[in-house]
Amino acid sequence: MNRDINTGVVRIMREYTGRGPTRARSVIDTNSVTVLLADTLTKGERRLAESGRAQQVLANRHEFQNVMRDELVKLVEDVLERKVIAFMSDNHIDPDMGVEVFVLEPTGAEPTG
């Protein structure tokens, strides 16, 4: 499942931005999935950030994440056969990293307390 989520997230990002992250690692917990990404920025985004436009790059990435949201959520729902009830995403410029967080609908089988 981790591999399917990792490769799917990288594929979707590549389709939208023209280049996917070079590393992805997912952690699947009881009610969440966190995907850590490395080396996410395109060459153009790196140049913009180096030219003092890091906030513009982050804002642009945020827009991409909003547009990719449905596909990323569907990927996780299909792989895990669980409903995603919340999705959060963020990027960091230096070091070049990103994170995608999916909160899963509780199954009712989780331990209490």
User: Please, are residues 76 and 33 in contact by the beta-carbon 8 Å criterion?
Assistant: yes
pLDDT tens per residue, range 30-65: 999 999 999 999 999 999 999 999 999 999 999 999
Q: What is the DSSP letter of 110?
A: S
Pairwise pLDDT comparison (109 vs 71), residue with the higher score:
71
The band of 107, judged by pLDDT with boundaries at 50, 70 and 90, is confident
Closest CA to 33 of 74, 2, 71, 78: 2
- Tell me, what's the pLDDT at 108? 76
Gap between the Cα atoms of 10 and 20, Å rounded: 5
User: Please, are residues 32 and 100 in contact by the beta-carbon 8 Å criterion?
Assistant: no
